[in-house]
Structure 1
Amino acid sequence: MADRVLVIGSGGREHALAWKLAQSPRVKQVFVAPGNAGTADNGKISNSAVLVSNHTIVIQFCKDHNIGLVLVGQEALLAAGIVDDLRAAGVRCFGPSAKAAQLESNTGFAKAFLDRHGIPTARWKAFTNPQEACSTDFPARVVRARGPAARKEVTIAASKEEACRAVQEIMQDRTFGDMVVIEELLQGEELSCLCFTDGVTVASMPPAQAHKRLLDGDQGPNTGGMGAYCPVPQVQQPVQF
């Protein structure tokens, strides 16, 4: 572990990472950029105003402050290749390359990857034409935008008309890319099973369950996440990978 660590992001995920890193006796200082109120001047943890969207500035910050390790939590930056640029500059960094980050940032890429490798997933189709997207015949539909913010731009449509409205909204402003993915809706409990890997070894984390809907009772629009808990009572036995 490095003496000085930089965590990039501003959400609860980065707060949790910084909090845990600061507990290590091997870590003397944790910078969080841009950070949030919970990471501002909190013991070993402090926020940094470094412009994280400019990879050259981040690299220089790491060199100026003798940063030994960078952890990137912000999805859009992973998709933009910040890990590739940091590694190319000789800065140790934990996070996927831009190519690997497509599994999270590009819904169409991820679904095609699952199909190609025989991994079960809901039926789906990708569209660049809103009229064609509105004609899909799945009995229940999940409308997803493609792009780094796609997890937030998800509509679980109760009818074909609602799905079509979501398609039009996504494809008119193009904020989330130029493609929409329509999936068959699968009913049931949703769990997250996360793993750490260096490309050879896989270390699994215990399953967790996130709450994505904005309101109580699983109501309201989807968000990037309203919170999560672990362990989950739905899983009685350890999950093996």
Structure 2
Amino acid sequence: MFEPRVALASLSGRSDADWAVRGEQFAGAAFLGGIALDDQTREAARELVGRDREEFLPDDSLGFVDRQLAALEDADLRAGFNVRAAGSEPVREAARICADRDAVLEVNAHCRQDEMCRAGAGEALLRDPDRLAEAVGVAADAGATVSVKVRAEVPGVDLTEISRTIEDAGGDAVHVDAMDSEGVIADVAESADLFVIANNEVRDRESVREYLAHGADAVSVGRPSDDPAVLRRVGRATDEWFAGSESEPEAESEVRA
């Protein structure tokens, strides 16, 4: 799906084309967004901004997706866009843009903010696999490569079942925020034929190797995605793993840089 197998994970209101360009020398992919696509999720985003959270709220969400992806046309990484929607039709339209730009459409089934869940997006999709499957299906039918960002440790949600739902609906990848359950990566990797991206506290050689040993195909960096020292460590460790290198661990001073 992308090489090197390090992705920059979306951070709402921060992850735009300029952010991706700053990390392109270290990563094979960058997921922009998240972006609210419809009236319900845009209202939720406005409520989040009202309590001092960062969100993208352009006048034209789909136009914003297209312009941001166009700005990365010559970047040395694969772009993706993390999207939030209560219904499937806006996802279809965003997926068409992503397909035209050879970008990944990432369905956000991850956001746990109450406002977004009440709108029917984010983590709410994990509790409604039929709607999740519909969103994945329309995006795949539009010709996009489809990823779904999910979260571990959601009560009542089995990520192995969710992964099979994503695969059956035509998805290509699952982007897993493992929370404190690194072993869930192995369960997801074994349950479906999807490209598995592991996320959460990816910082150094140890965290990279733990996720890859559990069967992840790639790792992603979230909040420190604008820190070159972290990205350099993660990139080196990922390259070593896939090259089969047994090089010595990095010096303690470098790990803490």
* Same fold (TM > 0.5): no
Q: Of the two structures, which has the highest relative contact order with CA contacts closer than 8 Å and spacing of 6 or more? A: 2
Kindly indicate which of the two structures has a greater share of residues assigned to strand: 1
Query: With structure 2 as the length reference, what TM-score do the two structures score?
Result: 0.29
Query: With structure 1 as the length reference, what TM-score do the two structures score?
Result: 0.30
Larger gyration radius, structure 1 or structure 2: 1
